[in-house]
Structure 1
Amino acid sequence: MRVQRPLVILIIILSIFLLSGCNKILPLFKDKKPEVISNLSASSIMMDSNEIRSQTIQIINNAKKSIFIELSAIDDQEIINLLISKSRNGIKVHILLDQWQRENSETVKYLKNQNVSVQYYPAQKGQYQRIRYLVADYQVAVFYGNDWTAKGFATHTMAIKLTGDAAWTIAKSFDKDWSYTTTLSLGLPETMNLPQDNIIFTLSSGVKPQLLKQINAASKEIIAEVEQISDPDTVEALVQAKKRGCTVKLIVSPSCAVATPNTIKKFKESEIQVRYYNSPNKIPMGFNLSIFDNKTMMMTSSSWTYYSFVINHEGALIIPSPTASESISKVLSQEWENASLP
């Protein structure tokens, strides 16, 4: 029996379709890549200075092998003495601090006299060391919004505790900074078997691109509590987010009225909602945090300025966690209610 030509063509097409797979023939029906989600819990985010300090002391106390610290400044005598004690007991303690902070002069002298390995981060002229973290035993890390000083612990600050592979990433970053400072490697293990947490840790020149990526990807809402916003590209990205329909709420320091009046004016003209931080207890603001679409949060070590992005030694965490973002969003919403209008 003679087979009709159209039927032959149909059989050939179906054969190719079945042998090649649906995804190659119909790319429109490809499965979407699953969203990357971090398993960071809301309880890993600390927003109370007393809790942050006590957790810091506990982590240092529990360290069995190594303690890496990179901060702007330390003057908390209890923590300093604890670090000396751990060093004497054979724990590898290594500390990097900012050379321009007054508190560090006495701290560094005292620690060196006690044979604790402490150095100034080799900042260039006009550069500040602003990144703040602690890593214990290569597997537990805390990323801080402020320093271990009387002033730092007296601010409305926050810290994020990490127990996944981001802690190992930060440990390796410290090793690079230590090698850059001293030309000596710390001899880290080749690998650490830690659970994947899908948290991005980025430094200096990587902070701004990550921030712009999050702003540009937002489709519904951006809420941020940042001491100062003046970087032109970031300001423009926020304006464009508003134009495409995002709700943009910014809580900034009252000092911005004098420091960046043109930026505040541009935000107002763009119908971006701006308020000045106002604590009922008159506690100064001490962290820089943003939440995008209530599912991704980003914590930076400093404000969103040219100096932060280009000059200083800075850092940031990007955490794609709807659970954590929703929890912190409630805190920022309350702070929005407390904030004052420009």
Structure 2
Amino acid sequence: MANIITLILIVNMIISFYIVFRHQRSVATSWAWLIILLIFPVAGFIIYGFIGRGISKENLFAINKQKHISLDKVNKMQAYSLEKIFSNDTSHKAIQLIKYFNNQKEAPLSKNNAIEIYTDNQSNFQKIFNDMQNAHHTINVEYYSFMNDQLGNKFLNLLIDKAKNGIKVRIIFDPWGSLGTKLSWFKPLIKVGGEVIPFITSQNNIKKYRINYHMHRKIVVIDGKIAWTGGYNIGDQYIGHNKKFGYWRDTNIRLVGPAALLLQERFVMDWNASNDYKHTIKFSDLLFPKCNNDPYNTNHSTVQVVNDGPDKEVPYLRNGMIKLMMMAKESIWIQTPYLIPDDPMIATWVTAATSGVDVRIMIPCMPDHIGIYRATEWYANYLMNMGIKIYIYEKGFLHAKTVTIDNDFSTVGSMNQDYRSYLLNFEDEIIIYDNTITKQLKDIFKHDMCECYQLT
């Protein structure tokens, strides 16, 4: 009997070492998982299956190879060289940040974009519906959460009508974020020519129930000319029709111009990675229409569309956000529903605050996940004691994900200020180089402060 137990322990140790060290992780994470697997041979493997298991090599290959599809063509369609932009349009302190985000030629600087910010739930969805209603060729939708409820059905029915009228409609959704929504719910759309697919990392019953490695993006692209992204998903709670949350406070951004091509490209890459070869999307003028850029037009916004995920070897977006915040001279104002930052981000905020920068972070007053909110509260108190101003939004649930730096730069997207957004989920973020839009977002922050109390 003793020999059998010894053999089991040896086999468990070998398997544990293999499972933990076959993926690249931080030293602390690797040893933490190894200890759990060795101490809890059965329960440890179950926990690891839902939380610790990485992305398969096959999925990583499928995601990474898409980076080369249409990228060069779309980059050329931006119509500007970095040198020309640097000499004419961008402040000196933004040059290195822009170069960093475009280091792999994945986030070219995009000029002459019209930007609208939406924080009112009804206005946001009404405008999205209007844009989809006016589509001429394609509607591509990618959401973390797509719920089978009143808003979800209204959204789906509009897509069904457009598909019946010859518009090509495609949907990517994440089954974890859309728990309760079955693929069969989309059948009426599929019957009239629409296409629907789960994101590549959640395409079977085991993968879709793990906590990490999910597609957290929220993207709508119409005809390759109009694009939406931000914090809103599709569901009744996002229009305040959920008693648990009540009023829902979120932020979306509407982009018209060349940047829509970059969000279209992101959708196409995610679609192709999640599909077999027969159903992949090829480059076409309908998907990527030519932009009429006017280099002398100074009334529109300059942005970068930055995408990130666990397929990258380093936390590309997180590191870029740190670099962005390190440029602050006056203020860093952040809105986030989840506040579970890692040490490098904490160090950035604390260093800025102790250097005289006005660092403010706004978080919700209520949990949507009780454990996560308790962690958010802990970090809020910790950061407050380190000199950072923490504001608790009381009107309802704050789900906005925005950052403003001084009066110069701002970001809107799907990225939360937490470990999962930094390292474990697939995100998209719009980096905005426009002081008018930044001031608008700061005014929104100030208005929201009227519904807050400051943590003391």
Shorter-chain TM band: 0.7 to 0.9
Report how far residue 290 of structure 1 moved. 1.1
- Counterpart-to-counterpart distance in 2, 1:98 and 1:104: 10
Is the partner of 2:351 in helix, strand or coil?
Answer: helix
Q: Give the direction of change, closer, same or farther, for the CA distance of 1:33–1:288 in structure 2 (3 Å limit).
A: closer
Distance 1:104 1:165 in 2: 33
Would you say 1:150 and 2:263 are equivalent positions?
A: no
In 2, distance between residues paired with 1:33 and 1:61? 35
Match of 1:173 in 2: 266
Who is 1:89 aligned against?
A: 165
* Cα distance between partner residues in 2 of 1:219 and 1:166: 28
Alpha-carbon distance, 1:226 to partner? 0.9
**Gap regions ≥5 residues in structure 1:** 1-30
1:239 alignment partner in structure 2: 350
Q: Which residue of 1 aligns with 2:179?
A: 102
SS class of match (1:276): strand
User: For 2:335 and 2:356, how far apart are their aligned partners in 1?
Assistant: 20
Match of 1:227 among 317, 337, 345: 337
Segment of structure 1 superposing worse, 196-205 or 166-175: 196-205
Residues 49-60 of structure 1 aligned to structure 2 (within 5 Å): 49-60=121-132
Counterparts of 1:59 and 1:173, CA distance in 2: 19
SS in 1 for 2:417: coil
What residue number does 1:6 align with?
A: none
Q: Is 1:185 aligned with 2:281? A: yes
Whether 1:130 and 2:239 are equivalent positions in the alignment is: no
Which residue does the alignment assign to 1:203? 307
Q: Which ranges in structure 2 are unaligned for 5 or more consecutive residues?
A: 1-86, 95-109, 241-247, 296-300, 310-315
> Which structure: larger Rg?
1
Structure 1 residues 186 and 278: alpha-carbon distance in aligned structure 2, compared to 1, 3 A threshold: farther
- Alpha-carbon deviation of 1:114? 4.2
One-letter amino acid of the counterpart of residue 79, structure 1: F
Structure 1 residue 317 and structure 2 residue 430: aligned? yes
Report the CA distance shift for 1:90/1:181 in structure 2 as closer, same or farther (over 3 A): same
Q: Distance in 2 between matches of 1:193 and 1:81?
A: 31
Where in structure 2 are the equivalents of 1:259-278 lying within 5 Å? 259-278=375-394
Q: Does 1:217 align with 2:294?
A: no
Cα displacement (A) at 1:253: 2.4
Equivalent position SS for 1:50: helix
AA aligned opposite 2:320: Q
Deviation readout 1:258-302 (Å, 9 max, x if unpaired)? 2234422331222111121111xxx32121111110221111304
TM-score by length of 2: 0.63
Distance, in Å, in 1 between the alignment partners of 2:258 and 2:306 is: 14
Aligned with 1:123: secondary structure?
A: helix
Q: Which residue of 1 aligns with 2:362?
A: 251
Query: Match for residue 289 of structure 1?
Result: 402
Alpha-carbon distance in structure 1 between the residues aligned to 2:88 and 2:161: 53
Structure 1 counterpart of 2:119: 47
CA shift in 2, pair 1:115/1:224, >3 Å: same
Contact 2:141–2:170 (CA under 8 A) maintained in structure 1? yes
Using the TM superposition, give the Cα deviation of residue 153 of structure 1 relative to its aligned residue in structure 2, in angstroms: 2.3
Amino acid in structure 2 at the alignment position of 1:127: Y
CA contact (8 A) 1:132 1:146 kept: yes
Q: Kindly tell me: are residues 180 and 162 of structure 1, through their superposed partners in 2, closer, same or farther at Cα, counting changes over 3 Å?
A: same
Which 10-residue stretch deviates more, 285-294 or 123-132? Answer: 123-132
2:190 alignment partner in structure 1: 112
Q: Distance in 1 between matches of 2:422 and 2:154?
A: 33
Alignment-mate amino acid for residue 83 of structure 1: L
Q: Runs of at least 4 residues of structure 1 off by over 6 A?
A: none
Normalized against structure 1, the TM-score is what? 0.83
285-294 or 178-187, larger mean C-alpha shift: 178-187
Shift of 1:320: 1.3
Cα deviation, 1:278-334, whole Å, max 9, x if unaligned, reads: 11xxx3212111111022111130411111121111111111111111122112112
Residues 230 and 401, structure 2, Cα contact 8 Å, conserved in 1: no
Query: What is the rounded CA distance, in whole Å, between the counterparts of 1:261 and 1:49 in structure 2?
Result: 26
Partner of 1:25: none
Q: Name the SS of the counterpart of 2:324 in structure 1.
A: helix
What displacement does 1:174 show? 1.0
Aligned length: 308
Alpha-carbon distance in 2 for matches of 1:320, 1:156: 24
Whether contact under 8 Å (1:242, 1:248) holds in the other structure is yes
Question: Which residue identity is paired with 1:214?
Answer: L
Q: Deviations over 1:96-123 (max 9, x none)?
A: 0011222431533443344420111112
